[in-house]
């Protein structure tokens, strides 16, 4: 085996370090040449060293750098294994010779070759034909990427899916929205539960209206999980409940909330704080019986079953003449909410004090506008907290703070920064971002009605941001007229809820590809058009090549991802490297030994399209093929 350099990161004052990665280094291959002595003879055979001198002279003539064009390597082949394997080497030392020619038994010499490519390569390559995409039929208004594969969930919904919530104990996913039936299951109006295989009713569902907000918390009993829904309904599970209700998951029963029978207008946001109490936002002004004024934002004390005012509440936006709270996201402390919506002040305050976004200090019972300013003459729809403490905010605006930002920005805890190039994050005519979520790695996902994201033209209705650039996903939703409203992240799983159904979605095709070598292999992707290349992911390693590259009919494109040899060329257009998006794992993408699960996605193909992936078979040592031979 070649030597390995371990790249480590010291862990502060701790008496250990973290191994980040490893790098195989160039290695020496030592060749020994000798003259054999006959067993019964007391003298060397041949008695003189003339022949070995002649052979050494011939070898020297072969490997002199000026005879082999300097940097040209030698190919050395090992043929006694199951495969013939080769390694490329350059002469390094051995022929300087420091022995005594008068010594009759000194009849051998060594030559050391340096292999800068440290792996043994099998003679030839493996090739896999790739399927460009798959049709996801039945993805009516809901689709999910589970274990790396996009799939329909039953027959979907008969109308819009707006929100999701995941049960942290069972892993079941609740979908909510304006549908009256999910997968044809009875009593699934507005709310349904996916158990991993089928959709199920949640009690007897809504009696009327729809659901616009959903959350799961501990409820009055910390050992009992409670599902909360808000919307424009007045009845759920046979119980009168005005716009907000709770569901005892274990007890399978619905209840109204608050001593005033609920709220007087639509609920659009619910967030659970660390104590299990709720913040609720929407269009409402009062409780249903008008005994308490809440002004679009309420705190729900679970133990007291009562609504409580939150400051004076968000106030009128004079530019639009309306006030709505669309989103609520809890901060890292689990007690401080960030509120997004359509408002420009606290009730009784000065216009511009709270422009579409506010942080509520629960201890001081006051609102504060984050950064130097909020959004003007428009609204924010949703905020999402990243693991590093940043807040992403999205909606329908063109600036935030003092920067231009098309519908998406990030709050650094000091001020607002735009996403994209000079703030042009979302492009196109229809460009509202309705939902935003951030995964545990810090990647932000967006859903809405937008046509594209900066630098990611295929990111229509749904896309992501890795901290420096936008990308599309490996799915194309039914279009036109669609809009992504619901978005749920569960580890690497992604759930999408949207408006339009009846047409199949298109998504990446999953391949199982075997690397027969004992070392990782770099790959080359070859395409004969027409095609639009979009996605190549090794789900076994987690590395992704994100592309947006148009290949014309009869055009041949070769994308060489081999380390040190990366080259992306077309026989029509020359270099096509700009078709590889910045958000790609170019330096890490490879096939590991054994089976690899690959997702590949391309669109606009026809019967003439040919797409193949090829790679060389590499081994750490020729012992890999010797052992394979001896064990069968």
pLDDT average, residue stretch 35-43:
60
Coil/strand/helix, residue 84: coil
Q: Nearest 10 degrees: CA dihedral of 460, 461, 462, 468?
A: 60
User: If you compute the radius of gyration of the chain from its CA atoms, what whole number of angstroms results?
Assistant: 33
Rounded-to-integer distance, Cα 26 and Cα 2, Å: 7
Q: Among 52, 77, 57, 76, which residue's Cα sits nearest to residue 67?
A: 57
Place of tokens 């999701």: 164
pLDDT average, residue stretch 569-591:
95
Residue 426 pLDDT class (50, 70, 90 cuts) = confident
pLDDT at 160 over 70: yes
Q: Give the DSSP letter of residue 206.
A: B
Q: Is 632 exposed, middle or buried (0-12, 13-18, 19+ CB in 10 A)?
A: exposed
Q: Nearest 10 degrees: CA dihedral of 472, 473, 474, 478?
A: -90
Q: What sign has the CA pseudo-torsion 400, 404, 406, 409? A: negative
pLDDT tens digits, one per residue of 55-86: 778 888 888 887 766 678 888 998 888 888 99
Q: Nearest 10 degrees: CA dihedral of 60, 65, 66, 70?
A: 160
Task: Calculate what percentage of the chain has a pLDDT beyond 70.
Answer: 91
pLDDT at 546 over 80: yes
pLDDT at 46 over 80: no
How long is the chain?
A: 632
**What was the pLDDT predicted at 375?**
87
Rounded-to-integer distance, Cα 15 and Cα 5, Å: 20
Rounded-to-integer distance, Cα 2 and Cα 119, Å: 8
Residue 523 pLDDT class (50, 70, 90 cuts) = very high
pLDDT average, residue stretch 151-174:
96
Rounded-to-integer distance, Cα 393 and Cα 415, Å: 12
Q: Among 368, 271, 394, which residue's Cα sits nearest to residue 328?
A: 271
pLDDT tens digits, one per residue of 270-284: 999 999 999 999 999
Q: Nearest 10 degrees: CA dihedral of 235, 241, 244, 246?
A: -100
Is residue 508 within 8 Å of residue 134, measured between CB atoms? yes
Q: Among 119, 120, 112, which residue's Cα sits nearest to residue 29?
A: 112
pLDDT tens digits, one per residue of 316-375: 755 556 799 999 999 999 999 999 999 988 888 888 888 899 999 999 999 999 988 888
Place of tokens 């549908």: 179
Is residue 423 within 8 Å of residue 406, measured between CB atoms? yes
pLDDT tens digits, one per residue of 185-216: 999 999 999 999 999 999 999 999 999 999 99
| Separation in Å, CA 361 to CA 272, 279, 314 | 16, 13, 14
| Angle value at C-alpha 576, between 572 and 578, nearest 5 degrees | 150
Strand bridging mode 278-282 / 297-301: antiparallel
| Separation in Å, CA 91 to CA 66, 74, 114, 284 | 12, 8, 6, 81
Residue 447 pLDDT class (50, 70, 90 cuts) = very high
Residue 145 pLDDT class (50, 70, 90 cuts) = very high
Question: Residue 524: enclosing H or E segment and its boundaries?
Answer: strand 523-528
């Amino acid at each position: 085996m070649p030597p390995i350099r371990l790249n480590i990161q010291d862990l502060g004052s701790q008496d250990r370090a973290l191994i980040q990665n490893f790098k195989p280094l160039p290695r020496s291959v030592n060749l020994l040449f000798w003259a054999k002595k006959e067993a019964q003879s007391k003298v060397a055979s041949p008695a003189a060293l003339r022949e070995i001198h002649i052979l050494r002279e011939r070898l020297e003539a072969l490997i002199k750098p000026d005879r082999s064009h300097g940097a040209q390597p030698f190919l050395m082949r090992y043929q006694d294994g199951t495969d013939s394997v080769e390694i490329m080497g350059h002469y390094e030392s051995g022929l300087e010779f420091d022995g005594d020619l008068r010594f009759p038994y000194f009849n051998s010499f060594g030559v050391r070759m340096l292999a800068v490519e440290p792996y043994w390569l099998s003679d030839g390559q493996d090739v896999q034909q790739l399927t460009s995409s798959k049709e996801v039929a039945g993805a009516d208004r809901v689709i999910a990427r589970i274990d790396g594969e996009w799939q329909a969930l039953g027959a979907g919904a008969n109308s819009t899916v707006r929100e999701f919530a995941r049960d942290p104990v069972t892993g079941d996913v609740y979908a909510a929205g304006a549908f009256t039936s999910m997968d044809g299951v009875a009593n699934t109006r507005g709310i349904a539960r996916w158990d991993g295989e089928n959709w199920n009713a949640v009690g007897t569902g809504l009696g009327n209206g729809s659901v616009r907000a959903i959350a799961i918390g501990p409820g009055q009993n910390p050992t009992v999980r409670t599902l909360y829904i808000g919307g424009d309904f007045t009845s759920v599970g046979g119980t009168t409940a005005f716009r907000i209700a709770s569901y005892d998951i274990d007890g399978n029963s619905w209840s109204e909330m608050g001593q005033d029978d609920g709220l007087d207008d639509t609920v659009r946001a619910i967030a659970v704080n660390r104590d299990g109490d709720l913040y609720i936002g929407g269009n409402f002004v009062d409780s249903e019986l008008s005994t308490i004024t809440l002004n679009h934002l309420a705190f729900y004390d679970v133990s007291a079953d009562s609504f409580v005012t939150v400051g004076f509440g968000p106030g009128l936006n004079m530019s639009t003449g309306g006030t709505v709270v669309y989103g609520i996201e809890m901060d890292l402390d689990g007690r401080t909410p960030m509120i997004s919506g359509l408002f420009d002040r606290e009730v009784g305050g000065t216009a511009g004090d709270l422009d579409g976004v506010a942080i509520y200090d629960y201890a001081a019972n006051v609102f504060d506008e984050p950064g130097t300013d909020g959004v003007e003459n428009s609204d924010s729809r949703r905020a999402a907290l990243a693991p590093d403490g940043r807040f992403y905010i999205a909606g329908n605006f063109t600036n935030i703070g003092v920067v231009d930002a098309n519908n998406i920005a990030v709050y650094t805890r000091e001020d607002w920064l735009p996403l994209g190039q000079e703030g042009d994050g979302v492009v196109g005519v229809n460009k509202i971002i309705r939902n935003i979520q951030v995964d545990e790695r810090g990647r932000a996902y967006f859903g809405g009605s937008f046509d594209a994201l900066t630098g990611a033209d295929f990111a229509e209705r749904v896309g992501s941001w890795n901290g420096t650039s936008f990308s599309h996903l490996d799915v194309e939703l039914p279009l036109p007229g669609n809009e992504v409203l619901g978005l749920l992240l569960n580890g690497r799983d992604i759930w999408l809820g949207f408006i339009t159904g009846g047409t199949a979605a298109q998504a990446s095709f999953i391949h199982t590809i075997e690397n027969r070598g004992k070392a990782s292999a770099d790959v080359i992707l070859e395409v004969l058009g027409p095609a639009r290349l979009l996605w190549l992911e090794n789900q076994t390693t987690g590395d992704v090549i994100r592309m947006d590259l148009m290949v014309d009919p009869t055009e041949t494109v070769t994308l060489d991802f081999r380390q040190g040899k990366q080259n992306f060329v077309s026989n029509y257009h020359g270099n096509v490297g700009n078709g590889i998006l910045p958000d790609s794992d170019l330096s890490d993408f490879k096939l590991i030994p054994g089976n690899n699960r690959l997702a590949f996605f391309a669109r606009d193909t026809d019967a003439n399209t040919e797409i193949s992936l090829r790679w060389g078979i590499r081994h750490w040592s020729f012992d890999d093929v010797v052992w394979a031979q001896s064990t069968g």
